[in-house]
Structure formats: C-alpha cells, structure tokens
C-alpha cells in the first residue's frame, strides 16, 4: 500500500538523490581524476625521454616516431571530455595505459646496457611476486634472466646486449599485461559498484514511497557507515587498493540502510509469532505507524552488525521452515485418515 505524501518521504527521496550526486562527484574527483593525472604524467615522462639529445640512426628515428604516435593517441584519449562526468567507465584510461605500456616496451630497443641491466634486476622481483597473475610463466622467465645476468662477466657483447633486451621485452610484456588486467579489474569493479549503488538507491526510494518508514533507512545507513569507519579505526579489513577503498565506502551505507529497514520488518514478524524476547516487544512496523525507539535501535544494529541482521533472518527462516513442515505433516495425516 502506497503511503501518503509527507515531508519525511520527500526528504528521504531527496537524500537518495543527494547521495547519488555525492557518490558520482566523489568517484570522479577521488578515483577517476587522480588516475587520469597519473597517466598524463607517464605520457609526459615518455615524451621527455624521447626528446633526449643523442645521435640516432634512421631506424631509431623510425622507432621514436612510432612511439610518439602511440603517445599522441593516448593524449587524445585523455583530451576526450566526457559529456557528463557521471558516464565515466574507465574505458579511455584503460586504452591509454595500454598505449603507454606499449611505448615503454618499445623504448627498450634504444636503451644503453646500464639501463637494461638495472631494469632486468627489478623485473626479476616483479615477475616473482607471489600475488601476481601468470606466476608460472613469470617465475620461469625470472630464472632465465638471473642465469643470463650471471653469465655476463665483463662488458657484454652486442649479441648478449640484444639477448638481454629481448628478455627484458618479454618480461615487460608479462608485467604490463598483468598491470593492465589489474587496472581493468578496478574499472569493472567500480562500474559494478555504481550499478549496485544506483539499484540500491532506487529500491530505497520505491520502498519509502510504498511502505514509508524512511527513518529506518537513515538509521541503518548510519550503522553501515559507522561499521566501515570502525574497521578502519581498528585496522581490520583495510582494503588493499585506494580505488577499492572508495568502492567499499560507497556501498556500505546503502547495504546498512536496506539491512536496517528489512531487519525491523523481520523483527516485527518474529515478535508477532512470539519468537523474540521481551526486549523486542516494542518493535513496530507499518506504512503509517511511526517507528518506536526499539525499531530505530534494531535498524541501527542491523546496519552496524551483519551478524545481527543474519541472526534475525536465520531465526525467521527456521520458524518459517518449521511452520511449513508442521503444515505438510498435518495435511498428510488428514489424507491418511
């Protein structure tokens, strides 16, 4: 049954719209823009490296021109302005990082041996990272690089230098491919979070218009946000990545809001069946029934504690299954009689 329009309902819908706007603005300025600036900085560094004065052959000039063309394409991708910043998906940035990595890999051909040797040593550690994807391929190549470096005693020959550059090229292909996959995973993760957040805000708005009780959403959202803050304060479950941190922070209050509203509904159903203690007897729920202090407290606890909410759901499920079992048993007995 749809509730009558009132200031509280209008305020709840306005809060949902404001939260969505805040989410989009924060996502752009705290996630998208820093990533774009970092990508632009890498492009400028590559331009600076290409402009270093040195006597280059025609082949080297051709490689430099090809690398510049890659950087120009990456620059154009960054110069493309999103018509609306909330449409950001990370697609341009992912393509830009691929072009930058390709340019870095092609630059190896023009490096001197000292630069190649230093980068080979660092590549060994990157290839052996236990959390890296393609572990077997990376570790095998890292062993080949170590054996190659150990075989060089003094100044390497031209053939050895070419072989070292070939090994470094293979290593960078694996390293940059892994980094590109991780970057795309972050972008996909943010896009999924945005979809979930938008759907959650839509559900909150519809439930508020249809059933009312906007205060329960507010208390549940506050509990969800406080839960995330307390984890950061204690130091447990801190996200590993900066981008992941923002994604989790975006969705936590929405999960808490839905859990708080639904938790009060489940608690009220359990109270009606005398399945909760006396502490929950004052929990009320209804379209035009103002929430009691007990209802607000349950909403806050459900948003704050996932275990508390799941405990209510488990008790309700157990009671429902028991009721269905008794009903089925009674029907079978009547048929036998």
Q: Which residue has the higher pLDDT, 48 or 61?
A: 48
Per-residue model confidence (pLDDT) at position 84: 63
Per-residue model confidence (pLDDT) at position 239: 45
| Residue (of 299, 120, 292) closest to 219 by Cα position | 299
Using CA atoms, how far apart are residues 192 and 184, in angstroms rounded to an integer?
12
Per-residue model confidence (pLDDT) at position 336: 47
Per-residue model confidence (pLDDT) at position 316: 86
Taking only the tens place, the pLDDT of each residue in 94-143 is 999 999 999 999 999 888 899 999 999 999 998 887 765 556 677 888 89
Angle at 213 between CA 209 and CA 219, to 5 degrees: 125
Using CA atoms, how far apart are residues 26 and 79, in angstroms rounded to an integer?
21
| Residue (of 293, 197, 199, 198) closest to 250 by Cα position | 197
The domains of the chain are located at 33-191, 213-324
Taking only the tens place, the pLDDT of each residue in 262-301 is 999 999 888 888 888 777 888 887 767 788 898 999 999 9
Taking only the tens place, the pLDDT of each residue in 310-335 is 999 998 888 887 766 665 555 444 44
Taking only the tens place, the pLDDT of each residue in 202-251 is 999 998 888 888 889 999 999 999 988 877 655 544 445 556 677 778 88
pLDDT band at 83 (very low <50, low <70, confident <90, very high): low
- What 306-313 contacts at long range (C-beta under 8 Å, 24+ apart), as own/partner pairs, is 306/227, 306/259, 308/263, 309/259, 309/262, 309/263, 312/263, 312/266, 312/267, 312/270, 313/266
pLDDT band at 78 (very low <50, low <70, confident <90, very high): confident
Taking only the tens place, the pLDDT of each residue in 25-55 is 888 888 888 999 999 999 999 999 888 765 5
């Amino acid at each position: 049954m749809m509730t009558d329009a009132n200031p509280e309902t209008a305020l709840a819908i306005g809060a949902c719209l404001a939260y969505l706007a805040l989410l989009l603005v924060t996502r752009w300025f705290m996630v998208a823009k820093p990533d774009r600036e970092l990508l632009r900085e890498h492009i400028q560094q590559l331009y600076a490296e290409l402009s270093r004065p040195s006597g280059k052959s025609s082949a080297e000039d051709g490689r430099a021109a090809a690398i510049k063309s890659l950087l120009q394409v990456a620059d154009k991708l960054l110069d493309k302005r999103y018509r609306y910043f909330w449409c950001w998906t990370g697609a341009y940035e992912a393509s830009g990082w691929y072009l930058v990595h390709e340019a870095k890999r092609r630059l190896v051909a023009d490096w001197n041996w000292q630069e190649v040797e230093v980068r080979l040593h660092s590549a060994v550690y990157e290839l052996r990272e236990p959390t890296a994807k393609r572990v077997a391929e990376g570790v095998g190549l890292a062993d080949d690089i170590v054996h190659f470096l150990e075989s060089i005693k003094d100044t390497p020959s031209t053939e050895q230098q070419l072989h070292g550059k070939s090994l470094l090229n293979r290593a960078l292909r694996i390293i940059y491919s892994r980094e590109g996959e991780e970057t795309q995973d972050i972008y996909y993760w943010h896009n999924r979070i945005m979809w979930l957040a938008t759907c959650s805000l839509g559900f909150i708005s519809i439930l508020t218009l249809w059933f009312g009780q906007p205060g329960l959403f507010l208390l549940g959202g506050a509990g969800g946000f406080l839960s995330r803050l307390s984890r950061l304060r204690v130091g447990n479950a801190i996200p590993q990545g900066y981008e992941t941190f923002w994604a989790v922070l975006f969705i936590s209050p929405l999960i808490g809001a839905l859990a708080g509203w639904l938790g009060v509904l489940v608690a009220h159903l359990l109270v009606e069946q005398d399945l909760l203690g006396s502490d929950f007897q004052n929990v009320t729920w209804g379209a035009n029934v103002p929430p009691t202090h007990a209802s607000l407290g349950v909403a806050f606890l459900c948003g704050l504690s996932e275990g508390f909410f799941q405990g209510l759901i488990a008790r309700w499920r157990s009671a429902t299954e028991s009721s269905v079992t008794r009903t089925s048993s009674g029907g079978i007995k009547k048929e036998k009689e």
